[in-house]
Structure 1
Amino acid sequence: MSKIYIVEDDRAIREELAELLRNSGYDTGYLTEFSNSKAEILAAGADLILMDINIPSLNGEELLKEIRRECDIPVIMVTSRTSETDEVLSMSYGADDYITKPYNPTILLLRISAVLKRASGTATVQTYSGLQVNDAKGSLTDGRRELILTKNEMIIFRFMLDRQGSIVTRDELMTALWDNDEFVNDNALTVNISRLRSKLAELGCEDAIETRKKQGYILK
């Protein structure tokens, strides 16, 4: 039975999460005093940490950075912050995933299961045009450089990668984002695809995403 440790200062949310996890077959523990957070987390012996960003003393992002100096235990950030800056910063500090409140319990449990599988070495490593796709960090790397994708960019990229060479419509991409509890409007989708194109180009994959007018996109 995997143990999940909750780092959340809101008592109601903390207890709700603990109940959800226990009912799903996980052993759980949680932090109640935040003056010595890192030591208590490391002593908990957990398999995965769910961590809020807005916590007392040391905020979650800084706490994550401190933890990463000592161990590589999987960490999922669960937070009310929705900006891409916070997401990118968390992933660059070593978060394995990032989910915003109010979260869909089913989506959260699926994310936890996926991260635990990756941590155990049972997940497959996928590549694209010489790049390694790191789901755990939400990144692409060519072995020399690594670029962090936002959660929306990674959802779009993985959806297209699974259908490489086939046309993917905008409606399909919007549905993929909706299914992952990440609703975006049509303009935001365009912005995310543009940023994804730029990041792929930085790693040497210029023109990786082809636009088919009135049809959609193809990842070549």
Structure 2
Amino acid sequence: MQKIMIVEDDPKIAGLLQNHITRYGYDVILTRDFSKVLEEFREVQPDLVLLDVNLPSFDGYYWCRQIRNHSICPVLFISARSGEMDQIMALENGADDYITKPFDYGIMMAKIRSQLRRAYGEYAVRTEESVIEAAGLRLYPERLELMYNGRSIPLTRKECDIIGSLMERHPRVASREALLEKLWDDQNFVDENTLNVNITRVRKKFQELGLEDAVETVRGIGYRLHASWAEEDGR
């Protein structure tokens, strides 16, 4: 049974969420001590986290960063804050999605199931591990890991999906529409700016590998892997 951890300091909302999600066969854990969110996370090892923004001691952005230092499990923010900057901050701090209150339970469950499929659906038995290779890069989708020149970095599921699309299309352009379709089941729930935020995070990942200007913006069309390092190496 997959475990969902709810970090919500309003006991009424937390209880309603627990009751509803439990009906779908998930094991739901409610956080009680909001000063030890990471400690509880590491103990519970949930498959997905629902995280409020406004919390005692530290806000949800802080706890999302702490979780990201230890895990790449899906994190969905649930918040009454509906401003664009709030959603951008959530994504910048490692969230996979953002649900505003009051939320529709049907949409919420669809987003939860979608994130769980993307994070764990690929863990079916395989005869061999899949790998995507391009321009000296090696991407392991099941591991959520990107390698270059003997170095490796962990990725979130969305970062992995974007990088995979760029590598598969290299040296062609991956359109914005194709990337949105790859990342989300229903584009009606997606703000165009959300893709921009995730592209920024992908660029930072390449920089961690020492690869600058790795993602080129093709105005009006989409993005392309600009593998200047491969040209220098003759790859």
Contact map agreement 1:169 1:216 (CA 8 A) in 2: yes
Structure 2 CA distance for aligned equivalents of residues 47 and 194 of structure 1: 26
Is 1:107–2:111 an aligned residue pair?
A: yes
- TM-score relative to the length of structure 2: 0.57
Q: CA distance change for structure 1 residues 9 and 114 in 2, over 3 Å: closer, same or farther?
A: same
1:87 pairs with 2:95: no
Q: CA deviation at 1:32?
A: 3.7
Superposition CA RMSD, Å:
4.9
Q: Within 5 Å, which residues of 2 pair with 1:114-193? A: 114-117=118-121, 126-133=132-139, 140-142=146-148, 143-144=150-151, 146=153, 156-164=162-170, 168-173=174-179, 179=186, 181-184=189-192
Quote the offset at 1:30 in angstroms: 0.7
- Partner SS for 2:119: helix
Cα deviation for residue 56 of structure 1 reads 1.0
Matches within 5 A, 1:52-91: 52-63=52-63, 72=71, 74=73, 76-80=75-79, 81-84=86-89, 86-88=90-92, 90-91=93-94
CA distance 1:41–1:168, change in 2 (3 Å): closer
Q: Once the two structures are superposed, what CA deviation does each residue of 1:183-204 show, in whole Å capped at 9, x if it has no partner?
A: 216xx86787688668657744
Number of aligned residue pairs: give it. Answer: 208
Identity %: 26
Q: Which runs of 5+ in 1 are unaligned?
A: 92-96
1:22-76 CA deviation, whole Å, 9 max, x = no partner?
A: 232211121244355455555556454333343112333444566678x658452
TM-score when normalising by structure 1: 0.59
The match for 1:94 is none
Structure 2 gaps of 5+ residues are 80-85, 227-235
Is the CA contact 2:166–2:174 (under 8 Å) kept in the aligned structure 1? yes
* SS of match in other structure, 2:56: coil
Instruction: Identify which range, 20-29 or 163-172, moves more after superposition.
Output: 163-172
